[in-house]
Amino acid sequence: MNDGPRSPLGRGLLSGGYVLVSLGLGIAFGYWASDWEMRFFPTVVVAILLLLTAGLSLFAIGAQIEREENGHRRIGRRAAASAAFAVAALGAIGVVAFSSRSTALTTMADFDLRRTHEHDARYFRELDRTLRGLVARMESRRDLFSADEARLPTDEEETFLLDVWTSFLDAAMALDELRRFHEDFYRFDLSRMERSRHVKSFLLTFGSELSLYESTAELVSLVESNENVERFLNVPRPDRGLEGDSVSRMRDELSGLSDLGRVVAGKRYLSYLEEVHQARSEVAGESFSWIWGEVEHNLGLAERRRTAQAVSMSVASDFAPILRGVKRVSFPVQKEVAEWMGDTRLKRPAGHYLVTASQARAMEKSLEPGDVLLSRKNWYLSNLGLPGFWPHAILYVGSNEAVGARFDSDPEVRDWVRRVAGRDIPFSLYLEESYRLAWERRATAGPDEPPLTVVEAVSEGVIQNSLHGASGDFIAALRPRLSPLVKAQAIFKAFSFLDRPYDFDFDFATDHALVCTEVVWRAYRASGEGLAIELHPIAGRLTLPANEIARSFIDDGGREDRRFDFVYYLEGREKEERARVAGVEAFLATVERSKWDFGDE
């Protein structure tokens, strides 16, 4: 039965009914999704796209059936358009699925993510201040950057330039890793359920981007004002881990036109977050509110620089060669790189050294608790960044029995223990009670294992080790000319450092993490007497290269007030594939040996 054509009013009312019913169902679905705390992206988005795909497919099929009933065999425009949109919606589902795949950032539990955001906010502040401080240090020496081509840096100025430049590159690399880790912010749903996570990670990645851009632009602009300085810093320096043209690369990779484009895009997205989602209030009162202000401040600086320098910058590259090409790792990147270098040996497998176990046992008969050891392991990449022939310092403690024999009966040590422990007990017992776990590790070494007799800082942290495990290819022993009391206090202090992390910043001003020489230096400093070895400023931080301990012995000569006595030296011989006992004269020559000198190869 044919009812005839429908009136326009009827078609309009019918269409309106479809729309209102669909709208009602959509609102109901939205309320239900919100009540069940569904994420808009990707969960609800995928559901919508699935419905669109199904609906458009039905439209396409229905439109084609209708044409065929009217005698048309060819595919109609409505059917073709509906089918095309259905395919597009299906493709969009694949894009959403790819974009929402899990990453290290998005798979964190809520508690861990909150702690990560708090930690990384502090880390961002520290790195940002470090970069600004290094730029300020360069600016404080503007006499270095005059346009006078006849003005060449002095030896002291060259050291200053290299120290600041290498420190800047290290901090920039760490900040770029922070930026990369949080650049997955868009995988967090921007709905209220995950908006705080989204905004915090965006602020961290964009704040890092701005800090890198602005600090690098300032520093490179300063360096480039003197061609002599720029050429000096562009020279490859393997001993410091610097490739050739490092200034030019840094300029191209951190202050280029592509970075300016990201600055503009980031500014627009920041405005969108604030105007549409009131995201500033999302972090108000938290540890992130200051980052928003910092980002706006740096945006102003970057935009002024963009106006002044965009035309003159003939670059359009990304971070790839120096910073963004590095492997994506967890923080801090210095730790990961240093651990890799510390484990990477260019020749001879790890664990195979020139000093044998029997030689270490023979050497140990000449050692006393409190001795300072210097060691070297050939062929490790970690030697590249350390100055001088000797890269490593160790504190010798000796066996539990040796500790007791050396200190338990000493009247000064006994009196000190009585004062600090509140009772009259031997030093060895006081040490055992104070650091029971560390003492038990020493006592429970297996019968076939060498005893733990040294304390050292390696990339894994401050540990106890056997003399053979710490010795390597060269090892020397020096004995501080200090009282038994000072040595006992140094050993006691060294035990307090055990299990602390390695200090990849080489900062002697802090003791939450330590490097190898800092363990020795701080342990002896605890007594108030110390080793009286001068620290050396490197990039504004006082530190102590292990080679300087050997140099202090040489500088003292045979004076009565010398700081050390020579005890023992095992010298590696690569050609002979063994180490041999050598005398003090051979040890004296090591200070001036090159770090590339592997011993008679």
**Who has greater pLDDT, 341 or 394?**
394
Greater confidence (469 vs 338) lies with 469
Q: List pLDDT tens digits, range 362-392.
A: 999 999 999 999 999 875 444 444 567 898 9
Q: Residue 225's pLDDT band (boundaries 50, 70, 90)?
A: confident
CA 445, CA 441: separation in Å to the nearest integer? 6
Measured distance CA(121)–CA(188) in Å, rounded: 18
Dig out the tokens for 130 from the structure.
Answer: 């470090």
Mean pLDDT of the chain: 77
The yes-or-no verdict on residue 331 having pLDDT over 60 is: no
The pLDDT of residue 426 is above 50: yes
**Model pLDDT, residue 240:** 74
Percent of the chain with pLDDT over 70: 69
β pairing state of 454-458 and 541-543:
unpaired
Return the HEC string of 305-338: HHHHHCCCCCCCCCCHHHHHCCCCCCCCHHHHHH
pLDDT digits (tens, 9 = 90+) for 13-70: 656 666 666 667 676 666 555 555 555 556 666 667 677 777 767 766 776 676 666 6
Q: Work out the average pLDDT over 107-135.
A: 86
Instruction: State the CATH class of domain 339-590.
Output: alpha beta
> Looking at residues 426-433, what average pLDDT do you find?
96
Please report which confidence band the pLDDT of residue 497 belongs to, taking 50, 70 and 90 as the band edges: very high
The share of the chain scoring above pLDDT 90, in percent, equals 25
Pairs from 503-509 (Cβ < 8 Å, separation ≥ 24):
503/457, 504/332, 504/334, 504/335, 504/338, 505/334, 505/541, 506/538, 506/541, 506/543, 507/541, 507/543, 508/535, 508/541, 508/542, 508/543, 508/544, 509/541, 509/542
Give yes or no for a contact between 380 and 596, defined as CB atoms under 8 angstroms apart.
no
User: How far is the C-alpha of 269 from the C-alpha of 286, rounded, in Å?
Assistant: 21
pLDDT of residue 337: 40
Mean of pLDDT values over 551-557: 90
- Phi/psi for 376 (5° steps) reads -145, 135
Q: What is the pLDDT of residue 87?
A: 77
Task: Give the phi and the psi of residue 331 in degrees, each rounded to 5.
Answer: -90, 160
pLDDT score, position 558: 81
